[in-house]
Structure 1
Amino acid sequence: MSAFRRFGLPAVGVVFGVMMIFPIYIMVLGSLRSETAVFDFRLLPVEWEWSNFTEAWSESSLPRAILNSLFVSTTVTVVAMIFHAMSGYALARFHFPGRTLVFAWMLSTLMVPFSIIMLPLYLITKDLGMGNSYMGLIVPAIFNAYGIFLFRQFYRDFPKELEEAAYMEGLSLAGTFFRIAFPLSVPIIVPLTIGFFLANWNSYLWPLVITQDEQLWVVQQELAYLVGGGYFTPWNIVLAAAVIAAIPTFILFFAAQRFLVEGIKMSGIK
């Protein structure tokens, strides 16, 4: 068993790692090939077509779509972290009638597929005057029971002594939350931030439903248009656009990697 742990588990990890990285390698490889050689089976391009990235950036609306996705994803993530933390803190610390029922009702929304609520959500958003706007892209994406659940579970194990010390120092309830509890919630904020940002960055169905103006298109809509926007699909340009669109997500992950690992370590300490 010790030999398997020493050699077998790392080998399995390497195999799964290669399987996960291989699609990214194919994407980058195709983005550097010519139009006629994009489906070539060689491991490296014969000619490196760096101009594909220039064409993907300048000959499409990709820059505007990336800015739209950055704005929508960042806004949703920041607002969601604040609201979800407040909701989770209230469910973990406040004792009010129906608290368990409210929590169970919120969790039940996780079992409802988005395809079922998409039409009612669209009608509500349209009736509120948020159709075909940034508000229509942002507001419905903020509320998610998953984030509230994780914050609630985190604050249930949060040391009450810190809050009691804050009360003795004269802090109000809101001051205790925003100056003590919320800043110390990094172990749960970092993974949720990455998850929410990526989910909204990769969102396609809801932006497709709620927006008709091309000026509001997000990056996934632009990539879909590049694939199906004409009778011919330049796959090398599409792959180059996909590589450019993936860069912000890689930057976010590598920038938050240290905090993510530290958060996992801290969350395991009781």
Structure 2
Amino acid sequence: MDRISRGLKRMTMYLILIAGAVLFIFPFYWMVLASIKTPEEVFDLSLIPSKVTWDSYVYMFDRIPVWGSLLNSFIFAGGVTLITLIFTSMAGYALARLEFRGRDVLFSVILLTMMIPFQLLMIPLYIIVVKLGWMNTYAGLVLPVSVNALGIFIFRQFFRTVPQELIDAARIDGAGELKILFRIMLPLSKPACVTVAIFTFMGPWNDLLWPLLVTRDQEMMPLAQAATLFGLEGQGGQWGSIMAVTTILAVPVVVLYLFFQRYFIESVSSTGMKG
């Protein structure tokens, strides 16, 4: 009876997980499906299209400079991610391994900034960008939204798991703090780097509000902004094309997670439990 009971519990758990996976995946499946359906079938709930057509993608490429906007998205998201990895790792190392007065208070203040919505910082950041003459530039797009408290928290928690003896040995050998960070700590912190990179990359990649504020020329627009304007400028009836550009926008993030999910899960499990 115990074996049967355990089998039923396991089967129930698997059924619940499968149902959750289906509920999560179905909107993405419908999005891809709608992009290859005919306009008459876009809103049908059929799981298999009666006819596969690429007209929506052709229409989208005719109306949107997809490749240029995609490049802008990679520069925007990639630039923010790179700067965030460098500076949050430095801050996380200092908060985890360096002794100085007010360290814990500073860490608490950094965590408190996570509760401040971006909308409250938007106007001051916009004024700074205008004063510096960074409108319609990559600097204005990338620098004001680089570095975040979540990255500092993840690196700080992960660095606390590294044995202190390893750091002491490097200091005895004459290594400075930056050398210890970039030569020892970061190579050991691949899971933390991947987690920070994924979380950071997703933000600017899907961001619409900040690019709308600081970019005016179509040549500077990331793909999310170009896709939104495509839907608002009289093209709203082309729902298949909107689903097509949304599919292209979703693919890089999905691929990024699929390639690095092992490091992501490892980092979440290791950084979430250490105080």
Measured against the shorter chain, the TM-score band is over 0.9
Contact 2:85 2:193 in 1 (8 A): yes
- Equivalenced residue count is 270
Q: Deviations over 1:147-194 (max 9, x none)?
A: 111111222222111111212333222211110011111121111111
Contact 2:137 2:220 in 1 (8 A): yes
Contact 1:33 1:49 in 2 (8 A): yes
What percent identity do the matched residue pairs reach? 36
Contact 1:76 1:139 in 2 (8 A): yes
1:2 paired with 2:6, answer yes
Q: Please, which moves more after superposition, 76-85 or 230-239?
A: 230-239
Q: Please, which moves more after superposition, 82-91 or 145-154?
A: 145-154
Question: What is aligned with 1:200?
Answer: 204
Question: What is aligned with 1:182?
Answer: 186
1:21 paired with 2:25, answer yes
Question: What is aligned with 1:70?
Answer: 74
| CA-CA distance at 1:235 after TM superposition | 0.6
Q: 1:260 to 1:143 in 2, by over 3 A?
A: closer
Question: What is aligned with 2:160?
Answer: 156
Question: What is aligned with 2:145?
Answer: 141
Letter of the structure 1 residue corresponding to residue 48 of structure 2: L
Contact 1:65 1:216 in 2 (8 A): yes
Q: Deviations over 1:104-145 (max 9, x none)?
A: 221111111111221112112222222221111111121211
Letter of the structure 2 residue corresponding to residue 24 of structure 1: F
Q: Please, which moves more after superposition, 34-43 or 60-69?
A: 34-43
Residue 116 of structure 2, aligned match among 105, 112, 134: 112
Question: What is aligned with 1:43?
Answer: 47
Question: What is aligned with 1:127?
Answer: 131
Secondary structure in 2 aligned to 1:230? coil
Q: 1:268 to 1:108 in 2, by over 3 A?
A: closer
Contact 1:88 1:155 in 2 (8 A): yes
Secondary structure in 2 aligned to 1:36? helix
Letter of the structure 1 residue corresponding to residue 131 of structure 2: D
Q: Please, which moves more after superposition, 177-186 or 239-248?
A: 239-248
The whole-number CA distance in structure 1 between the counterparts of 2:107 and 2:263 is 29
Question: What is aligned with 1:92?
Answer: 96
Contact 1:190 1:259 in 2 (8 A): yes
Contact 2:154 2:271 in 1 (8 A): no
| CA-CA distance at 1:209 after TM superposition | 1.4
Question: What is aligned with 1:218?
Answer: 222
Secondary structure in 2 aligned to 1:88? helix
| CA-CA distance at 1:262 after TM superposition | 4.9
TM-score, normalisation: structure 1: 0.92
| CA-CA distance at 1:99 after TM superposition | 1.7
Q: Please, which moves more after superposition, 244-253 or 63-72?
A: 244-253
The whole-number CA distance in structure 2 between the counterparts of 1:221 and 1:233 is 18
Contact 1:187 1:267 in 2 (8 A): no
| CA-CA distance at 1:265 after TM superposition | 6.5
Contact 2:192 2:263 in 1 (8 A): no
Question: What is aligned with 1:11?
Answer: 15
| CA-CA distance at 1:3 after TM superposition | 4.0
Structure 1 stretches lacking a partner, 5+ long: none
| CA-CA distance at 1:248 after TM superposition | 1.5
Residue 81 of structure 1, aligned match among 63, 85, 95: 85
The whole-number CA distance in structure 2 between the counterparts of 1:65 and 1:231 is 18
| CA-CA distance at 1:101 after TM superposition | 2.4
